[in-house]
Amino acid sequence: MTTATARISRPGHTAAKPARTAKSRERALAWARRAPLLPALVFLIVVTQLPFVVTLIISFLNWNSLSPTKTAFAGLENYVTVLTDPDLRQAIFTTILLTVSVVLASLLIGLGLALLLDKKFIGRGLARTLLIAPFLVVPVAAALIWKHALLNPAYGLVNGILTWLWSLFGSATPPQLDLLSQAPLAAVAVSLVWQWTPFMMLILLAGLQSRPMDTVEAAQMDGATPWAIFRHLTLPHLRQYLELGGLLGAIYIVQNFDSVFTLTAGGLGTANLPYAIYQTFYYANEYGLASAAGVVVVIGTIIVATFALRTVFSLFKKEAAR
Amino acid sequence: MSTLTPAAPRNTIPAAAGNTGSRRRGKTRMDPTRNNTAAGIAAWLLALLFASPVVWMILTSFHSETDAATNPPSVAASLTLDAYREFFGETSGVSPWPSLINSATASILSTVLVLVLAIPAAYALSIRPVKKWTDVMFFFLSTKMMPVVAAILPLYLFARTVGALDNIWFLILMYTSMNLPIAVWMMRSFLAEVPEEMLEAAQIDGANLLLILRKVIAPVAMPGIAATALICFIFSWNELLLARVLTGVVAGTAPVFLTGFVSGQGLFLAKVCAAAVVISLPVLFAGFAAQDKLVQGLSLGAVK
Amino acid sequence: MRPKMRAASLAAGALCVALSASACAGAGGGNAAGDPNSINVLMVNNPQMEDLQRLTADNFTKETGIKVNYTVLPENDVRAKISQEFSSQAGQYDVASLSNYEIPFYSANGWLAPLDAVATDPEFEQDDILPAYTASLTGADGKLYGEPFYGESSFLMFRKDILDAKGLTMPEKPTWDQVADIAAKADGAAPGMKGICLRGQPGWGQVFAPLTTVVNTFGGTWFDKDWNAQVNSPEFTAATDFYTKLVREHGEAGAAQAGFTECLNNMSQGKVAMWYDATSAAGALEADASPVKGKIGYAQAPVKETSSSGWLWTWSWAAQAASKKQDAAAKFIAWASSKDYEQLVAAKLGWAKVPSGKRISTYENTDFQKAAPFFKAERFAIENADPKNPGTQPRPAVGIQFVGIPEFAALGTNVSQGVSSAIAGQGSVADALAKGQQAAQKVGNKYKQP
């Protein structure tokens, strides 16, 4: 169309010129499309990639901040250590376990809550307000509450409730749980699920409230069971919301640091990658090793994310067809 | 389970159903009352369960330190404002206001900056997409894959060299880069919902960019912008690690101030609860006030 | 919606202007960088430091005109921040609360400024400071790099009334076997009471502070004088087995999570009959508000093969070498560690809250003696602590409850995870120490002479 317009508006010219003008017009258009993107892109590149390059450089050094005079080039030594150190490998496993369990649990519970909140009942607004409260508390404060006010074996609420329940039956020897010592990773996971379920719930609730009700009504008229409606109509519509929730949740929970740091200080097998890196930086003061671990995390996450986003996610497939 | 007989026309309200749902097109709720009550009860039980730690936190903040640390926990202990007085510096002489102001500044300004950068970027990725926009989206996401802990050292060294340590503006830049990818992702989805027909119609009518922005895009995207702004504000306000490392005496934020109450050598539960309540208040208010917008905004197909 | 957005941006703009009008870098503390009459202090949030923070403005700042901006953080956080600050010599803070663990090797790296101005100040009376601390805060070059704010050793605190009721006597210098015996008998002496409280929380400064002293007195050590790791030696294993068994059988609930605060709580609320920990705990136990005030007896740290086993620790002030306000910093340090400051705290908050344990004159003050019935036991413990020779064999580095090398923080914390697991019943002591031996040998190899 552009070529045609060019030819019409410039009658005296030969056919070659319009082609070149058309090309430069196309390029100008392409740049006009890119222009709004550039500020954000440039900003992000400068602020995130430059530090990443520096981290990369440091990862090739043998740098312990407590012995600054012994800093030396170390080649791939740090990477070898990262991949063979049993503690760091355990951290990788812990991170994967924690992320998968928390994301799945909060998605499932969030879905259930969203389905419940989708229906009308008395005080629905207030119930929803109560349900999003966990997400709005400052995470480090939430972790402190879980550690000291809820799970503390001596004076936490969980044990207090057990004591009270058992006393109702006249027993003076209630079972006292010590979740932080007996099942530390589960304790961290529970506190994370508690914090992130509201987030998932809101995303899924939005999805539920945006589905077209005509088909649902038609299906109901045809006598379809609620389960069939859910499986064949609701779930497919929710798929991109589930993916969005899962993706965002995974990204944030892989990076989670405050909860592990506060609840267990990485002890008893709960050290995830961010905590392991923190420990390497600040306890061991091994800057080179910690940087190498960071780079390994980035590469690993990019590999996983590439597969996930390209093959699994309908988000991109559907939009790519747009 | 349906209360409608197959032959009944859709718009007739069956007498026996007790259905009081509104009949807005496309948003009809046709659940019978029985399911509603069951759902209501279940939802309320779960809501109370989820909110109980928060309620406990608020209750503990009104107890004295020794009462807060008893087993079994004393629910009915006398209420006192001691913890709040300590938080506001009556005994220690340290005011929490500077850190609260710093948090507010950092969160608000970084959110504004994020929106200024993200909305045009999202426009360029949805309404008039550039070539290979999926790659750009992936790049944005990949910047969030580096654990902040690992990148802290270069940032610290840079800030130290440039003299930007303990400076709220540097923190604002960091928070902006932290939230920008998520904001772009969210805004892109919202802007992608602007109906193409309306855009084309406006273009054919000869409307210029500004007019299109104001009349066509803004109404559809406003809930989305509000939702994105809220999420960015929440994440900036809650951020602890960068603030602790990059700030010092002048630019300390509220979460850092909160951790100062966690003493290794004395009782601190009531104080920490009080601090947590006060510091979470802005986010709680923002969240509660805007939860409608949040749900609406997150609804990626609100206009369908 | 748009008027709301406009209001929001107006508010943001107003904030901007307000900030630019003030320090421009943030809302706290005023212009910290250039003002020669203000210093920045980074310190741990122990009660004594918080009292200092409270009393500074009306006393130090009024007298000298020097404004002090404090940053107060929990111990783990403050150590991380201090390490980053001092190793990069960022110059953000002028003074920090360091301990006798870091000061030797921080000073060796040239990160600290010598405190000659304070040490030679006649008003400060360096001779009044307990020699043990002056020695442990002196660098390899003979200069003094730290001044103690408060110091402590460790001893055994027990409920006199409970032990009396059970007909048990605690000798002044008990052995660990005697203590284990008493703990077994005191178990259940009152409803819900256990025999003893011992730290179990992971951390080189948490479980390993008391545990290393037990190791020392059982004849074990982290490293022998040639830097061979001895973590899974029979003595170290025996000590850890003993400690773990004692706390599992007669110790507090939730021991694997119990640190100083949890045990203080347990002791105050009558949930345990004895507590082996820092002497500074006694101050809290004898405070006016303490439910167990006046009921506590004090014995020396239990021993086995050595004549003493109490640790030596001091939170001290050190000045960063990169600080441009050395004079003001020296003035602050001289004030905070001075006799006058102790008198001030005594007058305003009571003798129990005085940051004690560092000055001979304090121990000889009759008012202090009255308010601190533990003063004799504490002074004896501190004066008999020997960081150079705490055990039955020579050591390659100083330190009683730690090894004075930078790697020990990570090593100790690493091994402590396994020990805490064993205390929680989720792993054996042998496994924990085997892993610990490997980790320790790696560190030892770094220090061995080729």
- State residue B297's pLDDT score: 60
Segment C259-268, tens digit of pLDDT: 888 899 889 8
Helix axes A16-34, A2-9, angle to 10 degrees: 130
Chain A residues in contact with B58 (beta carbon < 8 A):
none
Segment C9-68, tens digit of pLDDT: 555 555 555 555 444 677 765 544 557 789 999 999 988 998 999 999 899 999 999 999
Preceding peptide of C450 cis, ω within 30°: no
**Phi (first) and psi of residue B22, to 5 degrees:** -70, 165
Q: Distance between CA atoms of B60 and B57, rounded to whole angstroms? A: 5
- State residue A321's pLDDT score: 46
Helix axes B168-191, B148-162, angle to 10 degrees: 130
Q: Distance between CA atoms of A205 and A114, rounded to whole angstroms? A: 5
Q: Distance between CA atoms of C103 and C313, rounded to whole angstroms? A: 12
C-chain residue closest to B267, CA distance: C261
Q: Distance between CA atoms of B21 and B2, rounded to whole angstroms? A: 15
Q: What is the mean pLDDT of residues C369-380?
A: 92
Nearest beta carbon to residue C50 from set B92, B168, B267:
B92
Banded pLDDT at A155 (limits 50, 70, 90): confident
Which candidate, B251, B174, B240, places its Cα nearest to that of C26? B251
Q: Distance between CA atoms of A282 and A276, rounded to whole angstroms? A: 10
ipTM of this complex prediction, to 2 decimal places? 0.82
A316 at interface of B, judged by CB pairs closer than 8 A: yes
Please give the residue that has the higher pLDDT: either A109 or B86.
A109
**Widest CA span of chain A, in angstroms?**
104
Beta bridge mates, C314: C151
Chain B residues in contact with C47 (beta carbon < 8 A):
263, 265-266
- State residue A297's pLDDT score: 86
Contact C32 B250 (CB under 8 A): yes
- State residue C70's pLDDT score: 92
Those of residues 36-65 in B touching chain A at CB distance below 8 A are: 36-37, 39-40, 42-44, 46-48, 50-51, 53-54, 56-57, 60
Has residue A236 got a pLDDT over 90?
Answer: no
Has residue C274 got a pLDDT over 50?
Answer: yes
In the numeric block, the tokens 């064949």 are attached to A232
Chain B residues in contact with A309 (beta carbon < 8 A):
138, 141
Has residue A138 got a pLDDT over 50?
Answer: yes
Nearest beta carbon to residue B255 from set A36, A140, A291:
A140
- Specify the range with the lowest mean pLDDT, choosing from A193-197, A255-259, B32-36, B157-161: B32-36
Q: What is the mean pLDDT of residues A133-144?
A: 88
- State residue C236's pLDDT score: 96
Contacts of A77 (CB under 8 A, 6+ apart): A62
What is the H or E stretch that residue A125 is in? Answer: helix A124-136
The full 3-state SS of C51-101, as one line of letters, equals HHHHHHHHHHHHHHCCEEEEEEECHHHHHHHHHHHHHHCCCCCCEEEEECC
pLDDT digits (tens), chain B, 304 positions = 333 334 433 333 333 333 333 333 334 444 444 557 888 888 899 999 999 999 989 988 888 877 776 666 677 777 888 888 888 887 777 888 999 999 999 999 999 999 999 988 988 888 878 778 888 888 888 888 878 888 888 899 889 888 888 899 999 999 999 999 989 988 887 787 777 888 888 878 877 777 777 777 777 788 788 888 988 999 999 999 899 889 888 888 999 998 888 877 777 888 888 998 999 889 888 887 777 776 666 655 433 3
Banded pLDDT at C240 (limits 50, 70, 90): very high
Other CB atoms closer than 10 Å to residue B99's CB: what's the count?
A: 25
Nearest beta carbon to residue C254 from set A153, A267, A279:
A153
Contact A181 C410 (CB under 8 A): no
- State residue A315's pLDDT score: 56
- Specify the range with the lowest mean pLDDT, choosing from A81-85, A168-172, C98-102: A168-172
The full 3-state SS of B233-297, as one line of letters, equals HHHHHHCCHHHHHHCCCCCCCHHHHHHCCCCCCCCCHHHHHHHHHHHHHHHHHHHHHHHHHHHHH
Banded pLDDT at A169 (limits 50, 70, 90): confident
Q: Which two tokens stand for residue B17?
A: 């159903």
Chain A residues in contact with B138 (beta carbon < 8 A):
305-306, 309
Contact A182 C424 (CB under 8 A): yes
pTM of the model: 0.85
- State residue B73's pLDDT score: 67
Task: Characterise C98 by phi-psi region: left (phi > 0), alpha (psi -120 to 50), beta (else).
Answer: beta
Chain C residues in contact with B70 (beta carbon < 8 A):
269
Hey, which bits of B128-198 come out as E strands? Answer: none
Has residue C164 got a pLDDT over 90?
Answer: yes
Parallel/antiparallel/unpaired status of strands C313-320 and C67-73 = unpaired
Chain C residues in contact with A282 (beta carbon < 8 A):
79-80, 83-84
**Phi (first) and psi of residue C300, to 5 degrees:** -70, 165
Torsion of CA C321, C323, C325, C328, to 10 degrees: -70
**Phi (first) and psi of residue A10, to 5 degrees:** -125, 80
- State residue B10's pLDDT score: 38
Has residue A12 got a pLDDT over 80?
Answer: no
Size of interface A-C (CB pairs under 8 A): 76
- Specify the range with the lowest mean pLDDT, choosing from A269-283, B193-207, C312-326: B193-207
- State residue C383's pLDDT score: 92
Cβ-contact C437, C411 below 8 angstroms = no
Segment C78-113, tens digit of pLDDT: 998 999 899 889 889 999 999 999 999 899 999 999
Q: Out of A92-106, A300-314, B187-201, C24-38, give the one with best mean pLDDT.
A: A92-106
- State residue A318's pLDDT score: 53
The whole-chain average pLDDT of chain C stands at 89
The residues on B that touch C, with CB distances below 8 Å, are 69-70, 91-94, 97-99, 101-102, 104-105, 108-109, 112, 156-157, 160, 165-169, 222, 226, 244-245, 247-252, 256, 259-268
- Specify the range with the lowest mean pLDDT, choosing from A82-96, A126-140, B1-15, C351-365: B1-15
Contacts of C409 (CB under 8 A, 6+ apart): A283, C79, C101, C204
Banded pLDDT at C378 (limits 50, 70, 90): very high
- State residue B271's pLDDT score: 87
Cβ-contact A251, B141 below 8 angstroms = yes
Those of residues 211-270 in B touching chain A at CB distance below 8 A are: 234, 237-238, 240-241, 254-255, 258-259, 262, 269
- State residue A180's pLDDT score: 76
Cβ-contact B260, C72 below 8 angstroms = yes
In the numeric block, the tokens 């003002």 are attached to C35
Has residue C4 got a pLDDT over 80?
Answer: no
Helix axes B133-142, B168-191, angle to 10 degrees: 140
Those of residues 103-142 in C touching chain A at CB distance below 8 A are: 105, 109
- State residue B12's pLDDT score: 37
Contacts of C280 (CB under 8 A, 6+ apart): B265, C48, C150, C152, C357
Please give the residue that has the higher pLDDT: either C327 or B92.
C327
Cβ-contact C381, C398 below 8 angstroms = no
Contacts of A90 (CB under 8 A, 6+ apart): A269, A271
C262-269 contacts: CB < 8 A, separation 24 or more?
A: C262/A154, C262/C197, C262/C201, C263/C197, C263/C198, C263/C199, C264/B265, C264/B266, C265/A154, C265/A155, C265/B69, C265/B267, C266/A154, C266/C197, C267/C157, C267/C197, C267/C292, C268/C292, C269/B70
Please give the residue that has the higher pLDDT: either A164 or C244.
C244
Banded pLDDT at C433 (limits 50, 70, 90): very high
- State residue B218's pLDDT score: 78
